[in-house]
Each structure stands twice: as C-alpha cells, then as structure tokens.
Structure 1
C-alpha cells in the first residue's frame, strides 16, 4: 500500500472512530462502494438509491422478507373492473414533519412520478389516471387490463404534496441534466427512518422515526451510511470494527472475512442481470472509427461481439465463480424465466471473426465502451475482460470507466455507443425487463432504459399482450416467445447474474433480499 493510501486509510478510520465514539450501542454503520445519488425517490431508477430512499419513503404496496406483496400505505387493494384498481389507504399515518397522509398525497406522487424528470416513467406509462375517491381511498385506472399493477407500483414512493409545494420540489429533477432541488438532499417521508444529516458522497445519517405507524422489528436507533469506494478500505474498515456492514464484498476477500472471529459474509443469488447494450438507432455511432454507418445495426456484428466474449473465463477469473452466465435479460427468481431458453450462443472466436468479416469489417473497428467502476460487482474488471476478448477479433475497445455519479447521467442521455448496465425487474416479473429494456423507446417512458434504442414492433406487440394477459400459462408462453424473438435479434448481450455478498459484523442481525435492498427496519445490533 502506498504512503498516500495509508494516509487516506488512517484519515478515514479516524473519522469513523470519531463517529463511533458519539454513537450509541444501537448505531449501525454501513459502507457501500457508492452513494445514493439523490434522496428524491423519483429521480433515478437505480437500486442503491431506491434501497436507501425506501427506508425514508414508503409505497402503497411493499414487500415481505420473501419478496411477496405486503400492505404498506395501502391496507388492501382489489380490481373493480378490468382497467381499474381500488386501494384503501392506511389511517393515522403522518409524514416526518407531522403532516397527515391522505389520498391527495398519493394522487400528487403518481403525477410527479409520471412527469418530466422522473426516472420511473417507464413503469407507470400505462397508468391512465390516479383519482381520489375519499380521503383514504384512490382508484388507479390503466389504459388496458393490467393484472400485475400492484407489483408494478411497489417502488413508487409517496411524497407529501404540501412539503413538495412548499419546497419547490413538485417535479423531480432530471439526473441527465445534473440539476438538483430541495428533494435531492432533504427528505420528508412516512417511513421508519428519518434523514438527520446528508453530506453527499461523505455520509448520510438516519434516525429511527418515533412516530412511525407500524412496528420496527430491529433495534437500530441510528444508521450511518458511508460511501467507501476502495474495496480494500471497506474490508479493512469491517475487520477493524469501524463499520458494521459493507456491500459489496470483493469476491477475493470472502474467505478471508469468513475466517475472522468478528465478521462473516452473507451471500446469496441476486435477481440482477448484467448485460451490454449497443446503439442501434443512430446512422453513425458517436464514438467509433466507422464513419457514415452504424455497425451495430447489423445483427452479424452484434452476434460477433456476443460470441467473442468468454463468459466462463469472466466467471472464473473476474467473478471468482460468484456469477451465473446467462442468455436472457432475466434470471431464476423472475417470473417468466425459462431454463430451456437460458443457453448462450457458444464462445467461438473463429465464428465471431467470420461474422465480422461477412458484415464488412474483416479488420474490425474501434468503439468506446462506457462502464461504471463503483456500481456492480467488479464492473470495471468485467469491461476490461470484454475489451480483451473483443481484441481477439480485431475490435479495439476504448474503455471509458467512471464513477456512477457521472456514468448514469451520461448513458441515460444516450450519450454512448456501447455500455454496461445491470437490471433487477422491480416487479420480479419478465414484463418489467421487456417494457423497460427491449421496447421501442417513446416519449411516455416505454423503453426508457433501452439506451441503445433496439426496436422490434412485433416484440412490442407481444409485450403489450403479456401486460394484459391474466392466464398464467398463456402469459408465460408469450414471455417465452418474446425472449426468443429478442435472442434471435441479438438485441442485447446478456452476461451474467451476479451474486450478493454482504460483509456483516457478528454483532449485527439483518435480512438480505435477492433484490439487494437493505431495510434498516430489519436490522439489530448487540451491545
């Protein structure tokens, strides 16, 4: 370790030690490789931000520990007609500032989440209207039958209409433009924890909500959330006792942590799929040596890239076997996943070279690959391996890695030719991946995360059928057909589902969910 690194590590430990001296025995200190980019629950559809914000804000319908649906701000819901759902709202709930929660807040929040600047528009694009039918009841009308609506809205968090109006935060800010409003750094939810202090990229302090309407199972009174980008520093902080929970654990350090007396690694399968996307819309790529045309519009080029990637090599050397190679944009645990379809095209360098030559690029070409280096497990190293693999077929990758704070605004502006992304369907259903990642993008939010603008109208028609079909067998058959069509197009390049690995002090008890959400209300610490 360099002298500079040692000084930085010592400074971090000193800061953490100072915080721990002031903390009670019921303070839990959490470190992550990155920070939530905003406290606004509608500004970015990114799981770390949603995970952090969901401790402060709540949804109408939430999740139990087994990821089944659970009543939160709605106590019950039912379908009153094919296109209408009625939600009965919970009595006696207050926002953190003491304002009563009512149907007005629900109507306001859905309008806000569907509006300009919201990153949740894609999931809500088929909601026609949310209307108040009493102080504690709302109806949600959809454009057509939508049997999984309660699942779809399970991450649409409810904000205070009064607070947003008073703080000039009636619309979420667009992360693509890098602007902020009051809701970016202050919060006023109904959830079990309040935000006491917010220092972006330094630390955020949460305190238990003493007026919370429900039961908080854990004993944590205070949560100190600290971003620590360097993996070695996170591990050292856990092993020294300066932090209590860290995520993710570098795969190479799992055995070392498990061998200690003070900490352990909680590991499990994650629902997230990591994949590569390509600009298939522009007539000329923004960042490529090819001029006057777009090589990614040719299926042979896309397939050449796919077959040039040694996914088992990445699993073995980069992920240390903590990944599951996949051929689909969804994995086990997501409704509609089909094991028969989850078989990748073979890794075949010679076949990839021939495909590239047949497409008119016998010598390959140059293109930039955009990657985060602090969002997914070993994301930067994955992209380095992909670049090395593609070099074998003559493709020179200009690798651009950066922190997620600048990475996501860039790719969400579609300022990219080739990119890495991870996706966990928020509904735990294949329809979410199809509507968000493969649908032709429109101005209503459909295909919002289809950043390369892959487009197949026949697949879109299938996605619409999947959305409205209530018969499970018929629905799964449609999902199978849709994924087969996407695979035949080589619309994206699926890589793998990564594994979860949380480093946890043996003094701490918590619940790990397969969607990688970390709920403070289920955390306890021993003195």
Structure 2
C-alpha cells in the first residue's frame, strides 16, 4: 500500500482534528480495479464490499484490530440458543433523510438472503428476521451459531422505503447482468455519499456531514479512479496524479520507496494462499484402472515436503509474504500459534515417502 507524503501529513494531522486545526482534503485514489456495482448485494467480492463500506453500514463492524463493535445496532443478546435480539441505534438517517428503523433491517436481510442473491451464502445460518418494535429486531438462525456477528459485518443495511419507491426490493447480480435502481444509485447511512459515478472511469464520494458517528479522518472528498494497468498506476503515483493506491506491484516497491514524494506502507494481508488436493476416487473420471494417488497420506505429505516454501517466500514473493502452516492469519481472532507449524523442506524424505507409496 503506498501513499504520497502530503497525504500522510494530513493523516498525521488527524490528532488535531478535534481542535478544528486540520484542513479538509480531497483524496485521489487510484485503485487497481473497479467496483462491480453500487449495490452491496450484487457481487460477493471483498474489494467491492470494502469500498461500499464508505457508503453503507452493517449492524456491527470490525475495529482496526478486528474486534467486533456496535454500528447500526447499539447492543445485542441471545434470547434463546437460536434467536439473537438486536437493539438498533436511534436517530440515524439515511443519506436521503429517511429515518433508520427495524423495517430497514428486516427488508435488507430478506433481500440479501433471497434465493437470487449472490451474497446469500454470507449468512449461511440465517433463518428469518422479525421486527419486535421500531428499534428492535430478532434474527433467528438454524441452530446455535456463534459466528453470526462475524457474518453480519459485511451485510449492509439499505432503506426499505427507498427500495420500494425505486422497485429495488429484489437483489441484483452483476455476474449475471441482473440490474435495478440500486446498481447505479445509493442511499446508505455511512460516512460518505456518492456524488457521481461513471463506471470504469471515476466514482466521487463526498463526506456525509450528518453521519451519526465521529469521523477519524479529515477527508471531505474521495475521487476513486480504477487504473487496471500496474505501470500506469505506479506512474500516476510518482507524478502526483493520484495520492493513494491500495495495490502496488512488488517489483515496483523499491522505486516507490526511493521517491521522496511517496510513502510505502506494507503489511501482510489476512488472506492465506494455499493449494488443495483433488480427493476424488479417481483423478480422471475416465480412468478405469488407477485410483487417485492423493488418497494416500504419504503422497500428500511427500508433495508438501517437496515444496521449498521458504524459497517461494524469498524469491517469488520477494520476502514480502509469510510462510504459514495455518489457514488462519495471526491478526484474526481464533489464531492458534501452536497450529502454525509445517514440516521442513525435505526432498529426500519426500522421495522416500513416494517410494513407500509405490
């Protein structure tokens, strides 16, 4: 992640924001890709959801250290092993001025779990939502399910009145070309509003001065421009055409770091990249004689030990990845250090295991 120094100065000035010292800024964001749609239920992809999180909000959200905290819901409790009760925040307004209530939550949950919704799998245990009163909602799941709050962090709430007025109660699907009013228009409760959008060219966000929460930034405008060419994006950073990019090629980091006008911020992603064995009875269905060799644990272990993960980390990933034996990253709640181990690279041992397996 790289950022120009003058923007860093603005970020550094955030501590003075409460005193009214910091000057508002326009952030020119050169992104590595376009968002799929303005409808947060249209495409189950992390980048699109993270960008739309500037506009829409969920009942709960993650803090910077990945702890769950209240958002549109102020508190919650379980009233039975399968029913969660959420107490909603009062006084919240959608960008068009409509009041946020329980009706919006129920309509949004029904929309995102609709059979045609691309995001229905993001709420795998959801059964139903019931309005208790204007600011209380019960969510029923299909069994005891401790991960509901995690799932709800990327389920954003839309305005029911707005959806009804614009015939947008049903979800869209950008992958299948299914669109409605929500594809190109927004009405959230979040810290930014969409001022304008030209797909594949630029989307402009402006600060929502009526946001219920206190902003932790001094940005009043975001000009989001997708620049899919890595070379063009890096050139735009170096020339000052953009202030920020969330995606810089590994091979260009030394050049960006060397620039006096650019600050490079590096961190491991939460994503784990791994390979999966084909565990079918046969590798090829038409094969009538041989069984799948991956069924033999010794074969799987041999391939594991035959990959020099440290060499991949140093040469392919240029030292910027982390070799792991766990699917869960250290920053994610639930990470267990004792499980984050892998056997060392052992080519001779791998050959021996393959010989034993025939």
Tell me, yes or no, whether TM beats 0.5. Answer: yes
- State the distance in 2 between where 1:304 and 1:232 align: 40
CA-CA distance at 1:77 after TM superposition: 1.6
CA-CA distance at 1:78 after TM superposition: 2.1
- Say which is worse superposed, 100-109 or 251-260, in terms of deviation: 251-260
More helix by share: 1
Identify the residue that residue 295 of structure 2 maps to in structure 1: 298
* Aligned-residue CA RMSD (Å): 3.0
- State the distance in 1 between where 2:45 and 2:344 align: 31
- State the distance in 1 between where 2:179 and 2:287 align: 37
After superposition, the C-alpha distances for 1:43-78 in whole angstroms (9 at most, x for unaligned) are: 333221111011110011112333322221112222
> Any unmatched runs of 5+ in structure 2?
1-22
- State the distance in 2 between where 1:78 and 1:139 align: 10
- State the distance in 2 between where 1:110 and 1:59 align: 11
Identify the residue that residue 134 of structure 1 maps to in structure 2: 133
> Does the aligned pair in 2 maintain the 1:285–1:294 contact within 8 Å?
no
CA-CA distance at 1:309 after TM superposition: 3.4
CA-CA distance at 1:324 after TM superposition: 0.7
- State the distance in 2 between where 1:94 and 1:114 align: 24
Distance 1:227 1:282, change over 3 A: farther
CA-CA distance at 1:193 after TM superposition: 0.9
Identify the residue that residue 48 of structure 1 maps to in structure 2: 47
Instruction: Determine whether 1:309 maps to 2:307.
Output: yes
> Does the aligned pair in 2 maintain the 1:279–1:285 contact within 8 Å?
no
CA-CA distance at 1:331 after TM superposition: 1.8
TM-score (norm 1): 0.57
- State the distance in 2 between where 1:294 and 1:83 align: 44
Q: Secondary structure at the match of 1:272?
A: coil
- State the distance in 2 between where 1:31 and 1:336 align: 34
> Does the aligned pair in 2 maintain the 1:43–1:117 contact within 8 Å?
no
1:176-187 residue pairs with structure 2 within 5 A?
176-187=175-186
Identify the residue that residue 167 of structure 1 maps to in structure 2: 166
- State the distance in 2 between where 1:349 and 1:81 align: 54
- State the distance in 2 between where 1:78 and 1:215 align: 25
> Does the aligned pair in 2 maintain the 1:39–1:185 contact within 8 Å?
yes
CA-CA distance at 1:315 after TM superposition: 0.9
Instruction: Determine whether 1:109 maps to 2:105.
Output: no
After superposition, the C-alpha distances for 1:221-264 in whole angstroms (9 at most, x for unaligned) are: 21111222222322221121111111222233334323332220
Larger Rg: 2
Q: Secondary structure at the match of 2:133?
A: coil
CA-CA distance at 1:157 after TM superposition: 0.6
CA-CA distance at 1:211 after TM superposition: 2.9
After superposition, the C-alpha distances for 1:149-196 in whole angstroms (9 at most, x for unaligned) are: 323312111112232333333233345535433323322211111122
CA-CA distance at 1:37 after TM superposition: 1.6
Distance 1:298 1:183, change over 3 A: farther
Distance 1:284 1:173, change over 3 A: farther
Q: Secondary structure at the match of 2:162?
A: helix
- State the distance in 1 between where 2:293 and 2:221 align: 50
- State the distance in 2 between where 1:175 and 1:304 align: 42
> Any unmatched runs of 5+ in structure 1?
1-23, 361-527
